Each structure stands twice: as C-alpha cells, then as structure tokens.
Amino acid sequence: DIVLTQSPGTLSSSPGERATLSCRASQSVSSSQLAWYQQKPGQAPRLLIYGASSRAIGIPDRFSGSGSGTDFTLTINRLEPEDFAVYYCQQYGSSHTFGQGTKLEI
C-alpha cells in the first residue's frame, strides 16, 4: 500500500496568513490521483481538491493544490477563521490510503 506522510503534524498560523501543507507518498501516485479534505470536530470530511489541483464544487479559490509523483502541497491563502481544522490527503491511484492529517490551529 502507498503510505502518505503529512507534514507538519500541527501548523500554527493567524488569519490573513498563508498556510502550506505537505503530503509525501511512499511511491509515485498514478495520474496525480490525490485529494485533500478538511475536517472540523464532529463533522464529516469535506472534499477540497481532487486530481491534485482541481477544486471541488463550492471551494473558494484561496485553496489550491499542486504537485505530482510523490510530493503534493495544499496551499491556503489569506486564512479565514473557518479554515482552522484538520486536513487530510488521500491517494486513490492504488486502493485508498489517507495521510495522518495536519491540524491547522490559530
């Protein structure tokens, strides 16, 4: 199975700043089949990005994804108070695996 490692485990930022979250795969993710999700306490995950860089329906353009192969990045520009949550990456090129999550805290 492909192992996804997210870093950092916790990221402290302030509203208005930019946050950069990393997801590294143990082997190449085929066809950039990587997604990002946001999860708030007591809620289901919410799809943000699929295909490494395509925004899901209704996702603000301050969220962007990039990368290919084994290294992927989620960038959140101009952080809003509602952006502070846990973020997971998921690869779906070979079965499904998730990273362990990055907690974005104020």
**Which residues contribute to the site for another protein (CB under 8 A)?**
33, 35, 37, 43-47, 50, 56-57, 88, 90, 92-101
Minimum Å distance from CB 71 to another protein?
19
Question: Between residues 10 and 100, which has the closer beta carbon with respect to another protein?
Answer: 100
In which element (H, E) is residue 87 found? strand 86-91
Taking the C-alpha atoms of residue 76 and residue 80, their distance in angstroms, rounded to an integer, is: 9
Backbone dihedral angles phi then psi of residue 3, each to the nearest 5 degrees: -100, 130
Q: How many CB atoms lie within 10 A of CB 102?
A: 22
Closest approach of another protein to the CB of residue 29, in Å: 11
> Which residue bears the tokens 């950092």?
8
Taking the complex as a whole, how short is the minimal distance between the CB of residue 50 and another protein, in angstroms?
4
- Asked if 105 contacts 12 with a C-beta cutoff of 8 angstroms, the reply is yes
Nearer to another protein, 33 or 64 (CB): 33
- In this complex, which beta carbon is closest to another protein, that of residue 70 or of residue 94? 94
